[in-house]
Structure 1
Amino acid sequence: MWDKVQETVKYITDKINFTPRYGIILGSGLGGFTEDIEIEFTLPYSEIPNFPVSTVEGHGGQLVFGKIGQNNVVAMQGRFHYYEGYTMQEVTFPVRVMKYLGVEKLIVSNASGGVNPFYKVGDIVLIYDHINFMPEHPLRGKNDERFGPRFVNMHEAYSQKMINKAKEIAVNLSIQVKDGIYLGLQGPTFETISEYKMVKILGADCVGMSTVPEVIVARHMNMECFGLSVITDMGNEESIESISHDEVLEAAKKAEPNVRALIKELIIKY
């Protein structure tokens, strides 16, 4: 893994000579955020050594490098999922590459199903903790101390300082946000009504098929993390009867302007 990461980092740095401070992973229907970046370089995943290629509709397939305010950023326009058939090491490989490109802070977005009765479709949820219900762990196997410690402290997986700043920004922009706990499941099936009930019983507020592995690996390398979910369906009989990926993309698109504004201001002001 170490050699592959360093090979990929060398390829990218030789090609663009750019050091990002922020890394951004854009979830389903949120790829338009790249319009807020003063783009300097783009690299298709297919050209990057050792990189997987996203296979999911609504996910692009390139790294976008540029500026937001005075900060250098790299955005993943399209992420990778365990359900696509990749290993957890492949799913999280880009996070390791980001770290060695210079990224200190990781921002992760996703579309998720809500089980908190105070949520509604279109809500933006700031993730303050997660529950890992994925069937595989991205740190399973021999640990390479060059990346991080064998046992990772997950006490503050999501930066409280970044959450506080995002809430302050949301107030200033008149954007309503909620906060909550995200539970990660494998997918790719949407949850049954009984699974949604399980998620709620376990203490989570929303559920999705990504984010958790990426944040675990980022924390392994001591990156500061911020995550948000767009609630694209609710875990009740009425909502799940008709839920489809197209509906998820549509709901995410409606929330996208506020998500973009929030992330942009967070990068500028934090």
Structure 2
Amino acid sequence: MTAAAQVVRDAAGDRPAPVLGLVLGSGLGGLADAVAGAVAIPFAELPGFPVGAVAGHAGRLVLGTLAGTPVVVLQGRAHLYEGIPVAELAVGVRTIRALGARGVVLTNAAGSLDPAVGPGRVMAITDHINLMGANPLLGPNDDALGPRFVGLGDAYDDALRARMLAAARAEGVAMTQGVYLAVAGPSFETPAEIRAFRILGADAVGMSTVPEVIAARHCGLRVTAVSVITNLAEGLGDEALTHEHTLANAQVAARDLQRVLLRFIPEAAAELA
């Protein structure tokens, strides 16, 4: 983590430290192109960073300003289903923290378990259910990063989410709220699994984000997260599920989410000050 952060600092020169980090999921990386005064570094050039190979993930760290706020943006992410060790999925958010950020916005593409919330909608995550069978804190604990046992009762920051919802209302975007359930993937879920997930209380399902949330809370970052709904989950709709379908619908909803985030970012900076 320290080595990657030092590479970024060396490239950034005298730019101010970021206040906020953003992790952009499948089909959502376009916001990184709006970063002003950007310094962009491929993940492959950052020591310890996992490098994914999934379409829709550019694989760059971008440092600069958005809406007048110093930010660090991870344009894409690696995934557990790519064979990346779960501990490595923590490197990105730990680097965000090491660069000085106090909060992080995590975004992802997800399938909806609610037939009333279809493709193109956005959902603020209120909580999660981890069915990935993995946790990035497994193994020896680095006490310099955080405690051995970290509580997740406040994993998703209420105050930041309130500001996100207010930004959505101001932009005329109908943002819903719900629980995100994470699976390892890469196969999509069966109809029986989706029925079970609904009984468990999940509102959306995806294959990312939860390891980053756990790592972020472990190292003291405040977290807010948003899912872009790209499809109705298996058994709830008529369309066959494909990654190409996910990307196409993510790009439609991304336009709304980008407007919301540009309004939210300075509000988040005020909350984190």
Matching residue of 1:15: 11
8 Å contact from structure 2 (residues 113, 236) kept in 1: no
In the alignment, which residue of structure 2 is the partner of 1:147? 145
**CA offset digits 1:204-247 (Å, max 9, x no partner):** 10000000000000000111101000111112436365110000
- The aligned amino acid for 1:12 is V
Q: Which amino acid is 1:216 matched to?
A: I
Aligned to 1:87: 85
The unaligned stretches of length 5 or more in structure 1 are: none
Give the residue type in structure 1 aligned to 2:262: K
Match of 1:99, as an amino acid? R
Counterpart of 1:252 (choices 232, 250, 255) is 250
Q: How do residues 126-205 of structure 1 correspond to structure 2 at under 5 angstroms?
A: 126-205=124-203
After the TM superposition, which of the residue ranges 212-221 and 14-23 deviates more from structure 2?
14-23
In the other structure, the counterpart of 2:271 is none
Query: Residue in 2 aligned with 1:49?
Result: 47
Q: Distance in 2 between matches of 1:123 and 1:69?
A: 23
> In the aligned structure 1, how far is the partner of 2:234 from the partner of 2:67?
41
Paired with 1:236 and 1:74, the residues of 2 have a C-alpha distance of 35
Q: In 2 relative to 1, CA 97–240 (structure 1 residues): closer, same or farther, beyond 3 Å?
A: farther
Contact 1:109 1:211 in 2 (8 A): yes
User: Could you tell me the TM-score, scaled by structure 2's length?
Assistant: 0.94
Q: Which runs of 5+ in 2 are unaligned?
A: 269-273
Match of 1:239 among 237, 240, 245: 237
Q: Deviation at 1:135?
A: 1.2
* Aligned mates of 1:222, 1:91 — CA distance in 2: 16
RMSD: 1.3
1:118 Cα deviation (Å)? Answer: 2.5
Whether the 8 Å CA contact 1:36–1:264 is kept in 2: the answer is no
* Structure 1 letter corresponding to 2:46: I
1:225 corresponds to which of 223, 226, 230: 223
What TM-score do the two structures reach when normalised by structure 1? 0.95
**Residue equivalent to 2:94:** 96
| Secondary structure of 1:237's aligned partner | coil
Rounded Cα–Cα distance in structure 1 between residues aligned with 2:37 and 2:108 = 22
- Aligned residues of 1:181 and 1:205 also touching (Cα < 8 A): yes
The AA in structure 2 aligned to 1:149 is P
- Please show how residues 199-214 of structure 1 align to structure 2 within 5 Å: 199-214=197-212
How far apart in 2 are the matches of 1:59 and 1:39? 21
Equivalenced residue count is 266
**What residue is the counterpart of 2:64 in the other structure?**
66
Write the distance in 1 (CA, Å) between the matches of 2:151 and 2:39: 35
Identity among equivalent pairs (%): 37
